[in-house]
Structure 1
Amino acid sequence: MERSLWSALCCASLLLAGVRATYHLGTGDPQLIAAQSYAQTRNNGSQCMSRPLDLVFIIDSSRSVRPAEFEKVKIFLADMVDTLDVGTDATRVAVVNYASTVKIEFLLKDHFNKPDMKKAISRIAPLAAGTMTGLAIKTSVNEAFTEQSGARPRSRKISKVAIIVTDGRPQDQVEEVSAAARASGIEIYAVGVDRADMRSLQLMASVPLEEHVFYVETYGVIKKLTSKFRETLCGVDPCAMGHDCEHLCVNSNASYYCKCRNGYILNADKKTCSLKQVKVVEDPCKCEARLAFQKQSQAAIQQLTAKNILPVDSERLEHMVGRA
């Protein structure tokens, strides 16, 4: 009787070990979990998983920008912050306000979370008077894009981006200072509103101009540019754009690769998946009918896995066997 019971326990224990090794019961593949979590983030939220940026907004608050219009600029900035992946190791944001004078509202090193950043934006007040756009660009290069102000070192290869929003013609020269800014590695987007001078926008912006110069008729519709900048600044998700993976698509920089769910292996085409072949080990316990029982049990588990039905909790099963 004792020998028979010992044989049964031995068989059950080996079976559980084989099933656990084959199907990783009670555990998950960290890479797949991360991939699924990333996909859910992309599908469920509007946040852009942008490449890290050192981003400086340069906003015109001259006399021609009425108070109500300036509030719409601030709403645009807050909406942009909402779409970005903000953080110490992600996108850092600064705001430079200008008219006849230039005021740095906050630096790249000042705020690393969205609530604080949006509060700082809400407190920005217009400066009035003239439109010294060239001075604003020069100040941004010399004071906002420096490492002392929170910009990452060149060795980190973090993109530096300036977005200029103006509704008028600059009262100073912008061509040379803009060229110097671009030569230093700053990508410039120019947004013109209403009476903005298109030639000046083109002199400021990076090339190709069709991708870096934007124009809207009024401040009332500037919010529409949020989605445009989101497409421009956010990294493209190849998986979201469409893929031919049978199971899981994993984003890998500008490309992707396919993965299979637990219990499956990737085929030679690197796209489709097949059930893992179960290797039946030699029976060290010499249990009668054990091999047949193992084959039937593992075949049943494969069917459950194929139907996405969770298998039996192996910890609980081992506990029950132990009690027996």
Structure 2
Amino acid sequence: MTYVGHPASASSQAEHPGRATVKDVVAAYVGLTKPRVIELLLLTTVPVMFFAARGVPELWLVVATVVGGTLSSGSASALNCVYDRDIDEQMRRTRRRALPRHIVSPVSATVFGVVLGVLATVVLWAFVNPLSAMLALAAEAFYLVVYTVLLKRRTTQNIVWGGLAGCFPALIGWTAVTNELAWPPVVLFLVVFFWTPPHTWALALRYREDYANVDVPMLPVVARAENVGRQIVLYSWAMVATSLVLWPVAGTGLVYPVVAAVLGAAFLLEAHRMWRRTRGTEDLAKIQPMRLFHSSNLYLSLLFVAVALDPLLTR
């Protein structure tokens, strides 16, 4: 079921500013990297390094991992912007990005993205370890090929499986310290996997007209809000249950499970409240999906802070 009509022409919505200043161009290139996405990915990388080290990891290793991870995420985001520039011009949420505003050309953005990707691989391989470098490269390839090219415009499950790319930082943070994989980071990988649909669908519900205008079949575009709310609740329960599995699997202290339980209960309460608000209505003013979106950011932030603090407070 689609709730809005046909897309407006890209030319009618794209902005065509005059000559860009140096400041505009620098800001445009920074914007291509999607800094907020980078912040979120680093949030699930650095705390896991503390957890893997059972304390404070070496500063140089944290810096190298952060630099490599930032370059890798920025590369994937820049190349994603190049591929999606046609739909970004038509969406309110994205039409002020660099490519729709024609501040950066597609060729320049592509070169920028490729250079960042190469630098990321070199930094992680040389200063962290080859395993972390290959995981970062795999995450970038998965995001660009599987999500951006194959899934995003074809299926309502786009963010479910495409979101796997955003789970890799938990593995990278662990392997940066240990140079091997283990079950604890896999559990955290799954926490982010189950967290991604509620987080993204809440945002997509807010901007579903945008997605419908460009024929991207996000779940809120093709399903009623009540059905979206039900799916959000189901994934939220899976997320919270998985987060508690880390306690026995990793042998954490009591700090982590207590925080995880409290945060999980608060998030589930908000998810159920939003689901109730969707019943019998498609009015976004009543549903208030951004409440859940912001709650999801706070939940993941505090959960991974607990991951970092647990070994420091339970020695």
Same fold (TM over 0.5): no
TM normalised by structure 1 equals: 0.24
Which structure exhibits the higher relative contact order, with contacts defined as CA atoms closer than 8 Å and separated by 6 or more residues? 2
Greater strand proportion:
1
In terms of Rg, which structure is larger? 1
Greater helix proportion:
2
TM normalised by structure 2 equals: 0.25
